[in-house]
Amino acid sequence: MIIKPEPSPKDLSYIIENSGLKQSDLLNMYKKMVTIRYFEESIRKVYHDGKNPFNMASGIIRGEMHLSIGQEATAVGTLYDIKDEDVVVSTHRPHNHAIAKGVDINRLAAEIFGKATGLCEGKGGHMHLFDKSKNFSCSGIVGASFPQALGAAFSFKYQGKDNVAVAFGGEGAANHGTFTETLNIASAWELPLIIVIEDNKYADSTPKSLVMSTTFHYQRGLAYNVPSYLVDGMDVIDVYSTAKKAIERARKGYGPTLIEALTYRYIGHFEGDSEEYRTKEEVEFWSSVDPIRRLENRLLRLNFADADVLAKLREEARKEVGNAIEFALKSPYPDPSEALRGVFA
C-alpha cells in the first residue's frame, strides 16, 4: 500500500542526493516539524484548561479546535521551497501549514487565544487565520481552499509572475465539487496551482472508503489531464521530492499538479472527539511511522546529526513555542469597542 519501507543505507543516500536536500535542509525540516508538534501539543494543553467537564464555550481558548498532530511532514515537505510571495490557502486544520509557511508563531498563538496581538486581532480564531505578509490564509469552510488558491494562481499568471499558489484540502474536502471544478480550470488554463490532498482517512468520523467512488483522489486529477502523484505523507523527503517538481513545473508556466499525501492524525478530528470510528490498533500502526521519528532516524543513519544536535534543535523549538504561548497568554483581549471594525457587519 502506502507507507514505503525504510530504505537501505545505499538507497537512502541515493534518495537524499536525488532530492537535492543538503544536511542543513534536513535539519531545518526537522526543526520545523518539531516546532509544529510542540506548538500543537501546547495549544492542546491550554485548550483543555478550564474545560472540565468538557465544554467548548469555556476555558482560555474557546470554540472548536482541530489539530494536525501526525501531519507535520505534508506541510513541511510541500512548503519547503515555497516563498513568502507565493500563496498558500489552508483548511480548518491549518496550524501545520501556517508554521511551515513561516507565519509568526507568537501572532499565530495570540490569534488562537482571541487576543488583540493576533494575526487578525483576535477576530479570526484558529480556523480563520490570515497573514498578508506571508500570503497565508485558511477557512473553516470545507472545500473552499481549492477555488481560493485557483484565484491566486490565475492572478499570478495574469500578471506574468512566476509565483505559485498551493491549496491544501482533506480527502473529505476533495469530494466537494470545488475540487473538480478547480482541477478543470487550472488544467485548461495551465495555472500555477498545486493541490495537496492530505488523506488522513477520515472526514470527521466518515471513512473515505464509504464515500468515494475511486480508491484515490489522484485518479480524479488524471482525468483532468493534471499530473497527479501519490506520496507517503509520513515521509517528509518523499513529499518534498514531489512538491519540488510540482513547484518548478508551475513556476515555469506548465500548469497545475495534484499531490495526494497519505497521512494520519494521531488525535481526534476535533478536541472532544470520542473517536469511536477507529481502533487503538490503527492509531498504533500509524504511530509506528511517525514522520518526526522517521526523519530523526534517517538523520542519525546518515551521520547528519548525533543525539545531542537533535536534542539542541528540540530545545530551541520548545523555547520558541513556550515564548509564543506566553506572549499569547499575556496579550490583552481586543477592546469591545473594536468588535465591528475590520469585519463584515
Spatial separation of the C-alpha atoms in residues 249 and 12, rounded to whole Å: 25
- Among positions 273-332, residues that touch ligand TPP (CB under 6 A) are none
- Partner from Mg ion, ligand TPP, none binding residue 256, C-beta < 5-8 Å depending on class: none
Measured from the CB atom, the residue of 169 and 256 that comes closer to ligand TPP is 169
**Contact stretch for ligand TPP (CB under 6 A) within 46-54, 72-80, 166-174, 321-329:** 166-174
**Count of residues that bind ligand TPP according to CB under 6 A:** 15
Question: Is residue 172 involved in binding ligand TPP (CB under 6 A)?
Answer: yes
Q: Tell the smallest beta-carbon distance from residue 143 to ligand TPP (Å).
A: 6
Considering the complex, what minimum distance in angstroms separates the CB of residue 203 from Mg ion? Answer: 5
Interaction of residue 207 with ligand TPP, rule CB under 6 A: no
Residue 276 and residue 213 in contact, taking contact as beta carbons nearer than 8 Å: no
- Nearest in space to 157 (alpha carbons), one of 256, 259, 257, 258: 256
Which lies closer to ligand TPP via its Cβ, residue 135 or residue 200?
200
Nearer to ligand TPP, 21 or 196 (CB): 196
Beta-carbon count within 10 A of 202 CB: 21
- Other beta carbons within 10 angstroms of residue 290's beta carbon come to 20
Least Cβ distance, residue 200 to Mg ion (angstroms): 4
Residue 146 engages ligand TPP in binding (rule: CB under 6 A)? no
Question: 483548511: which residue's cell?
Answer: 91
CB of 269 to ligand TPP, least distance (A): 6
List, as own/partner pairs, every contact residues 156-160 make where C-beta atoms lie below 8 angstroms and the sequence separation is at least 24, other chains included: 156/87, 156/191, 156/192, 157/189, 157/190, 157/191, 157/192, 157/253
With CB under 6 A as the contact rule, the residue among 31, 32, 37, 93 that binds ligand TPP is 93
Neighbours of 172 (CB within 10 A): 23
Helix (H, G, I), strand (E, B) or coil at 130: strand
Cβ proximity of 166 and 86 under 8 Å: yes
User: Among 170, 227, 255, 291, which residue sits at the site for ligand TPP (rule: CB under 6 A)?
Assistant: 170
Given the rule CB under 6 A, which residues bind ligand TPP?
92-93, 140-143, 170-173, 200, 202-204, 269
